[in-house]
Amino acid sequence: MVEEQTNINVGAEQKTWQILEEVKDPEVPVLSIIDLGIVREIQITSPLSSPAGEGSGVRVTITPTYSGCPAMDVIQMDIRLKLLEKGYKNITINQSLSPAWTTDWMTEEGKRKLKAYGIAPPNPKQQFCSPEMFQQEAVQCPRCNSLHTEVISRFGSTACKALYRCLDCKEAFDYFKCH
């Protein structure tokens, strides 16, 4: 009996990860919050398919891309709305600030989507990031793949991005900053 309940929860958890795949980053709509790697944990407190049906509960733990990112409020609201739409009633969203999100948590699929969208994905070699490293890092142009680029502004269209210019194809592009 206990085992059966566990199986229901595992299935419901997998399904919920798929549901959250539909929640997009409001700043970069091609990326889901799963691509971003900000969803840390999903716990089913009461599965949707439970015989009682009522009170289906889920707890989602997310880590903000950086504290104070205005997009996080929108993301939390979008998660809640999406889960309500799918039938969950008791929704708890926790924020976990430690360990801090890093661009390493972004999925390979997410990095590929970013590039296709015309935003340079975070530098894969980078583990940590300081203002000094940020200035030195080589950023690849998402259009022509040239590493011959220069920073125009530390802040691009949003605080999470920096504005760069490619010295080869002369195009300006956003770079998804490390934090």
Per CB under 5 A, residues contacting Zn ion are 141, 143-144, 146, 166, 168-169
Residue placing its CB nearer to Zn ion in the complex, 32 or 140 = 140
Residue placing its CB nearer to Zn ion in the complex, 41 or 168 = 168
State the nearest-atom distance from the C-beta of 149 to Zn ion, in Å.
Answer: 7
State the nearest-atom distance from the C-beta of 172 to Zn ion, in Å.
Answer: 10
Going by the DSSP 8-state scheme, the letter that residue 24 receives in this structure is B
User: Using CA atoms, how far apart are residues 97 and 88, in angstroms rounded to an integer?
Assistant: 25
In sequence order, what DSSP letters do the residues of 104-128 get, joined into one string?
Answer: GGS-HHHHHHHHHTTEEPPPTT-S-
State the nearest-atom distance from the C-beta of 4 to Zn ion, in Å.
Answer: 56
Helix axes 2-20, 71-85, angle to 10 degrees: 130
CA dihedral 131, 76, 164, 114 (to 10 degrees): 120
Residue placing its CB nearer to Zn ion in the complex, 84 or 147 = 147
State the nearest-atom distance from the C-beta of 150 to Zn ion, in Å.
Answer: 11
Residue placing its CB nearer to Zn ion in the complex, 46 or 149 = 149
State the nearest-atom distance from the C-beta of 85 to Zn ion, in Å.
Answer: 41
| 119 in Cβ contact with 174 (< 8 Å) | yes
Residue placing its CB nearer to Zn ion in the complex, 93 or 163 = 163
